[in-house]
């Protein structure tokens, strides 16, 4: 019988890459914006405003073109999930090792995926829900906000958010929806009709469509029950290509056999092991004005 190696659980490439791909199924940010390859550490990215092209008449001289660069910062943020198991987990034989890895990855994937939303949208630690000072500049800091009024049709606040984003020169092609807000659209029916007005909207993170927007739905948008202080956010409307995010450090699994790594008591005394998974995300937002937040007026 071959024991799992002390100190680590090997994650084969064919396991790791699909896991990283699953991030978009737990995060609205990942669903609506493309992942950007990154190296570890703080970095910078540039956005450029080059204006429009110039017409040149026959025999006329060409004028100068202007380029206005803007520098934005990408910062690394580490998240972990530490799980305790009875030490019998280490007794799996060679044929069972991949099954053990699969089971552990399935347990930790949702929380580490959702962590991206809690950071990018709310700037909070998913455990405890407190603001993280280093995450300054989340989507919740957008200068644009509108209120959803319960007596209004849901598209009223969505249209108002669109108008604010367009007024700042951006195209509001995307929307991340809290399930409560999404349900207002999903339950809407035509006048004297049972026909759904928004049949294409799906109540999950997979990208669907509502009112001409690419839509993704998750309770990470409102962070109800997670944020220490209620965010009252029902939706984030805007151009999610302005969010630059990536996985700076690939997921690793560490087997911890001694000590008290999570405050749950001595492992040996309890005949347990701990398995810790860590992922380092990096993100930055090119333009907060490219977004508008829909808030619950209540």
The model's pLDDT over 147-191, given as tens digits with 9 standing for 90+, comes to 999 999 999 999 999 999 999 999 999 999 999 999 999 998 877
Domain count, the chain: 1
Arithmetic mean of pLDDT, 24-34: 87
Query: What's the pLDDT at 140?
Result: 95
Considering only residues 141 and 277, tell me which one the structure prediction assigns the higher pLDDT. Answer: 141
Q: Is the pTM of this model over 0.85?
A: no
Residue 185 in domain:
yes
Pairing outcome for strands 213-217 and 233-238: unpaired
Maximum mean pLDDT: which of 19-28, 35-44, 99-108, 236-245? 236-245
Task: Give the domain range for residue 284.
Answer: 13-48+67-296
Model confidence band, residue 106 (pLDDT cutoffs 50, 70, 90): confident
Arithmetic mean of pLDDT, 202-217: 94
Label residue 258 exposed, middle or buried (CB < 10 Å: 0-12, 13-18, 19+). exposed
Which region among 2-16, 143-157, 188-202 has the lowest average model confidence (pLDDT)?
A: 2-16
Query: Residues 6 or more apart from 155 whose CB is under 8 A from it?
Result: 185, 211
pLDDT at 6 over 50: no
Q: Tell me the pLDDT tens digit for each residue of 246-293.
A: 887 766 677 778 888 878 888 878 888 787 778 888 888 889 999 999
pLDDT at 215 over 70: yes
Model confidence band, residue 5 (pLDDT cutoffs 50, 70, 90): very low
Residue 249 in domain:
yes
Task: Answer for the pair 139, 121: CB distance below 8 angstroms, yes or no.
Answer: yes
In sequence order, the β-bridge partners of residue 275 are: 83, 255
pLDDT at 243 over 80: yes
Considering only residues 95 and 127, tell me which one the structure prediction assigns the higher pLDDT. Answer: 127
Considering only residues 130 and 279, tell me which one the structure prediction assigns the higher pLDDT. Answer: 130
Residue 227 in domain:
yes
Among candidate residues 276, 278, 268, 277, the one with its CA nearest the CA of residue 87: 268
Residue 62 in domain:
no
Q: CATH number, domain at 114?
A: 3.90.1690
Residue 5 in domain:
no
Among candidate residues 116, 81, 102, the one with its CA nearest the CA of residue 19: 102
Query: What's the pLDDT at 3?
Result: 36
Arithmetic mean of pLDDT, 75-101: 70
Residue 95 in domain:
yes
Residue 6 in domain:
no
Q: Tell me the pLDDT tens digit for each residue of 45-78.
A: 445 455 566 667 676 776 666 655 555 666 788 8
Task: Answer for the pair 4, 100: CB distance below 8 angstroms, yes or no.
Answer: yes
Query: What's the pLDDT at 103?
Result: 75
Percent of the chain at pLDDT exceeding 90: 42
Q: Tell me the two tokens of residue 145.
A: 């906000």
Percent of the chain at pLDDT exceeding 70: 74
Residue 260 in domain:
yes
Query: What's the pLDDT at 165?
Result: 96
Considering only residues 150 and 83, tell me which one the structure prediction assigns the higher pLDDT. Answer: 150
Instruction: Give, as one character, the DSSP assignment of residue 189.
Output: B
| Mean pLDDT over each residue of the chain, to the nearest integer | 81
């Amino acid at each position: 019988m071959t024991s799992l190696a002390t100190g680590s659980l090997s994650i084969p490439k064919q396991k790791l890459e699909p896991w990283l791909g699953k991030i978009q199924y737990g995060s609205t940010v990942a669903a609506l914006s493309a992942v950007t390859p990154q190296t570890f550490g703080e970095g910078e990215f540039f956005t450029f405003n080059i204006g429009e092209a110039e017409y040149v008449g026959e025999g006329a001289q060409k004028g100068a073109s202007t380029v206005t660069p803007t520098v934005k910062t990408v910062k690394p943020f580490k998240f972990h999930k530490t799980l305790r198991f009875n030490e019998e987990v280490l007794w799996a034989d060679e044929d069972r090792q991949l099954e053990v890895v699969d089971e552990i990855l399935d347990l930790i994937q949702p929380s580490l995926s959702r962590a991206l939303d809690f950071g990018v949208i709310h700037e909070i630690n998913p455990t405890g829900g407190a603001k993280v000072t280093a995450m300054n500049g989340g989507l919740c800091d957008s200068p644009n906000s509108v209120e959803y009024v319960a007596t209004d049709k849901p598209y009223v606040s969505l249209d108002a958010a669109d108008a604010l984003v367009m007024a700042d020169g951006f195209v509001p092609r995307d929307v991340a929806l809290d399930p409560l807000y999404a349900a207002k659209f999903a339950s809407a029916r035509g006048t004297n009709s049972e026909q759904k007005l928004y049949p294409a909207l799906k109540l999950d993170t997979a990208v669907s469509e509502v009112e001409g927007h690419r839509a993704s739905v998750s309770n990470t948008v409102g962070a109800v029950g997670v944020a220490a202080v209620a965010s009252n956010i029902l939706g984030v409307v805007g151009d999610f290509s302005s969010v630059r995010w990536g996985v700076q450090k690939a997921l690793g699994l560490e087997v911890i056999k001694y000590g008290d790594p999570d405050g749950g008591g001595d492992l040996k005394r309890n005949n347990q092991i701990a398995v810790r998974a860590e992922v380092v995300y990096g993100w930055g937002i090119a333009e907060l004005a490219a977004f508008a937040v829909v808030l619950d007026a209540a």
